[in-house]
Amino acid sequence: MAGSDFICKNLPNVLSSFVDTFVDFSVSGLFLPPLPPSPAIETPATNPPATLSINTSLSSDPEFRTRYPCPDRLIAIGDLHGDLQKFNQALRLAGLINASDQWSGGSATVVQVGDVLDRGGDEIKILYFLEKLKRQAANSGGSIITMNGNHEIMNVDGDFRYVTQDGINEFSNWAFWYSVGNAMKNLCDGLVNLTKDPFEGIPSEFRGVRKEFHDGIKARIAALRPNGPISSRFLSKNQTVVVMGENVFVHGGLLPSHVSYGLERINDEVRDWINGSREKISTKIGRGRDSVVWSRKYSSESAMDCDCSALELVLASIPGARRMIMGHTIQESGINGVCGNKAIRIDVGMSRGCINGLPEVLEIDKNSDLRVLTSNTLYREKNEAFLRTGRKDGLGLLLPEHIPKQVDVQA
């Protein structure tokens, strides 16, 4: 009888969990694995004190750290812009997923430098896929760190200038299934803290927008605005600046004023804004050509236009930093470095919504050596002098410093 009472009392929560799984699968085609356990709290074996001792080498929420030690294998991936197929190809180049799209990267760490959103139609699918891989990687001793680009900031702020029709359709599909899920939950009297209507306060029509897009725009606002279901679930887990060993990751570029503002402060303010607990973020972070996610100081088409002196000042002010790794500006000739390889540019425009570039990723080993993993035969032939023999034949390249021809996408 007691067991029966327990089941009855917990039935609403079981139903809610089932509905969430049903909606996730309907939207993404994926069943997300269980969340990995939180790091344990260490206590001495004998004579424990009145207060517990926390293992400071672990974070109770490692996603929200700004500084990490460098792992044995580190993979950096540039802008994705709504192209799941190209993202899968990039992951396979590095041996991070198998033929069934399951994590196979072992203890590797991956940093994706932002701009998942806009210019393509697989934006939500990529967010779900990243979440799946994060959980699988954590269970294998690896990790995936996702970052905010200027397009994440724009979308949370309601700036949809670079949305495609396929992107609108994907969010309309999400809104349909999300609403179905809410309706199913409302059928159960025992549920508490029901999800509020995500469309509350959003107009039904938008001046200057064709009528057939109104529902899709409304869905996108609902999903991505501060504390929206998609922004709070996925984007709030992003970092805006990451320091990993000798490597500083950022979407656009860090200037001396950003370091003075505070790297942890930047991450905290953006996360609080996305979660809806902060009204706005500083223009230093998300708006203007010299902001963290918009700067092109180190990624312009000519090395002469890269501000190497500012870069050296920034790196000198971050303990242990040797190089900055960034996306944001398409490098048509492939991943490359300038300023004595202190600025590494990894956006190759792989999305079909950009220049449909061949996927490439940057690999950094435990000795801080750099390699470009690429399937671009022209890039390999052009830089064959940099080939490293005996490792991943046909894929591994030492990073050359050159001045590539670029396509400068304005947002």
Q: Which residues are catalytic?
A: 151
Q: Are 363 and 240 in contact (CB under 8 A)?
A: no
**Residue 172 φ/ψ, nearest 5 degrees:** -65, -40
Output the six-digit token pair for 392. Answer: 């991943």
Give the HSE-up count for residue 234: Cα atoms under 13 Å, Cβ half-sphere.
25
Under DSSP, is residue 73 helix (H, G, I), strand (E, B) or coil? strand
Dihedral sign of CA atoms 224, 228, 234, 235 in order: positive
Q: Are 380 and 148 in contact (CB under 8 A)?
A: no
Output the six-digit token pair for 112. Answer: 């994706």
DSSP letters, 231-286, are HHHTGGG-BSEEEETTEEEESS---HHHHHH-HHHHHHHHHHHHTTSSS---HHHH
**Residue 363 φ/ψ, nearest 5 degrees:** -115, 135
